[in-house]
């Protein structure tokens, strides 16, 4: 059984009788016919490995013939010339583990067959307007058909309730993927430290980070990298800009790659000339001691608030 199949099986067991729906992330246009880079919805990818837009996963414990249903874009040669190959209905079954698959164009027609006379629907409302419209219309259709002996689900449960609880516990394969994401990010930060020097611009370091990420197979940054020099380092969510580094300044880099849909997140601050001043070194050592104290304090049963208190206490002691 594949990791994806095992996750689906575990979720079906956890949610009990009912149906769960997981729509793909919508496509976002940047301008006219140019789209923003596409990233699949994390929950859908976690359960299928399918990274195509225009798709939806349906899991059910209440159908006689199948439990895993995928709605996907149909194969279409004209579009595949422009956008690349599609799994299609056949691929959804052969490559992504569906018991049965349909064209996404059939979603509105087929969905009532799966939601009729089902008591509980697992679905995240207000995350995807297009999917919401189809789901709500299906529910209204079923409510109108109550006199014919077909009823709509009485309860809607956030699908994250069971799924995100599952995701707290990582498999060996997941841990290996997360370690790779961290290793790639480490290499990117070391690269930034090696090449940074007075006279460079923030955007040059940003470019180096992205180069290392992609060179090692990362799909994308986990978030937009923060590269702030001098006073810009004090802006919490600053983005790499045009500022030129001056001798004696510190550079803050908050950057991490995404690898296999797992994110890394690392922040480091270092002198652009390679040498800390005595004042910079003193502050750096206070922060380093706080970090090490927090790492030592992490144990099963500890809460985030407790670890935060360790950091506050350590930094306060270092400053007074």
The enclosing domain of 189 has a CATH number of 3.90.230.10
Handedness of CA 242, 236, 279, 255 (dihedral sign): negative
Last residue of a domain, which of 139, 167, 195? Answer: 167
Range of the domain at 98: 3-167
Do 211 and 68 lie in one domain? The reply is no
Do 205 and 133 lie in one domain? The reply is no
Helices and strands (H and E) in the chain: how many = 11, 14
User: How sure is the predictor about 33, in pLDDT bands with cuts at 50, 70 and 90?
Assistant: confident
> In sequence order, what are the residues at sequence separation of 6 or more whose Cβ sits closer than 8 angstroms to the Cβ of residue 3?
171, 173
- Cα dihedral 19/25/26/28 (nearest 10): 170
Do 105 and 237 lie in one domain? The reply is no
pLDDT one-digit tens code per residue, 96-146: 999 999 999 999 999 999 999 999 999 999 999 999 999 999 999 999 876
pTM for the whole thing?
Answer: 0.92
Last residue of a domain, which of 115, 133, 167? Answer: 167
Do 65 and 94 lie in one domain? The reply is yes
β pairing state of 19-23 and 29-31: unpaired
Supply the pLDDT for residue 145: 74
Do 68 and 196 lie in one domain? The reply is no
Partnered with residue 155 across adjacent β-strands are 120
Do 39 and 187 lie in one domain? The reply is no
Do 92 and 157 lie in one domain? The reply is yes
pLDDT one-digit tens code per residue, 216-250: 999 999 999 999 999 999 999 998 889 999 999 99
pLDDT one-digit tens code per residue, 164-215: 999 999 999 999 999 999 999 999 999 999 999 999 999 999 999 999 999 9
pLDDT one-digit tens code per residue, 298-318: 999 999 999 999 999 999 999
Do 189 and 214 lie in one domain? The reply is yes
Count of the separate structural domains present in the chain: 3
Q: Higher-confidence residue: 108 or 149?
A: 108
Last residue of a domain, which of 136, 167, 198? Answer: 167
> In sequence order, what are the residues at sequence separation of 6 or more whose Cβ sits closer than 8 angstroms to the Cβ of residue 28?
35, 36
What single DSSP character describes residue 201? B
pLDDT one-digit tens code per residue, 165-179: 999 999 999 999 999
Partnered with residue 56 across adjacent β-strands are 23, 71
- Give the domain CATH number at 147: 3.40.350.10
Do 156 and 200 lie in one domain? The reply is no
Supply the pLDDT for residue 125: 96
Do 227 and 301 lie in one domain? The reply is no
Q: Higher-confidence residue: 148 or 141?
A: 141
Do 127 and 194 lie in one domain? The reply is no
Do 270 and 300 lie in one domain? The reply is no
**HSE toward the beta carbon, residue 279, CA cutoff 13 A:** 3
């Amino acid at each position: 059984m594949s990791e994806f199949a095992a996750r689906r099986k575990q979720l079906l067991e956890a949610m009990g009788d009912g149906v769960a729906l997981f729509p793909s992330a919508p496509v976002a246009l940047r301008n006219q016919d140019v789209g923003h880079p596409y990233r699949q919805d994390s929950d859908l990818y976690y359960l299928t490995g399918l990274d195509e837009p225009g798709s939806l996963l349906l899991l059910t414990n209440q159908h006689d013939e199948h439990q895993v249903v995928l709605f996907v874009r149909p194969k279409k040669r004209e579009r595949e010339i422009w956008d690349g190959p599609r799994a299609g209905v056949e691929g959804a079954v052969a490559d992504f583990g569906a018991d049965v698959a349909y064209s996404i164009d059939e979603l509105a027609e087929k969905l009532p067959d799966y939601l009729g006379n089902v008591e509980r629907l697992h679905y995240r409302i207000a995350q995807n307007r297009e999917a919401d419209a189809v789901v709500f219309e299906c529910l209204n259709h079923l409510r109108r058909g109550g006199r014919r002996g077909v009823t709509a689900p009485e309860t809607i449960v956030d699908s994250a309730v069971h799924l995100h609880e599952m995701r707290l516990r990582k498999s060996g394969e997941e841990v290996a993927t997360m370690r790779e994401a961290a290793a790639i990010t480490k290499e990117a930060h070391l690269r930034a430290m090696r090449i940074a020097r007075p006279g460079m611009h923030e955007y040059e370091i940003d470019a180096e980070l992205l180069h290392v990420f992609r060179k090692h197979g990362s799909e994308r940054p986990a978030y937009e990298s923060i590269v702030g020099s001098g006073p810009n380092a004090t802006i919490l969510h600053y983005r790499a800009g045009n500022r030129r580094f001056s001798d004696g300044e510190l550079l803050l880099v908050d950057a991490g790659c995404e690898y296999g849909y797992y994110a890394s997140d690392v922040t480091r601050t270092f002198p652009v000339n390679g040498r800390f001043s005595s004042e910079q070194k003193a502050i750096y050592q206070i922060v380093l001691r706080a970090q090490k104290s927090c790492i030592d304090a992490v144990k099963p049963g500890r809460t985030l608030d407790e670890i935060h208190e360790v950091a506050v206490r350590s930094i306060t002691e270092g400053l007074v």
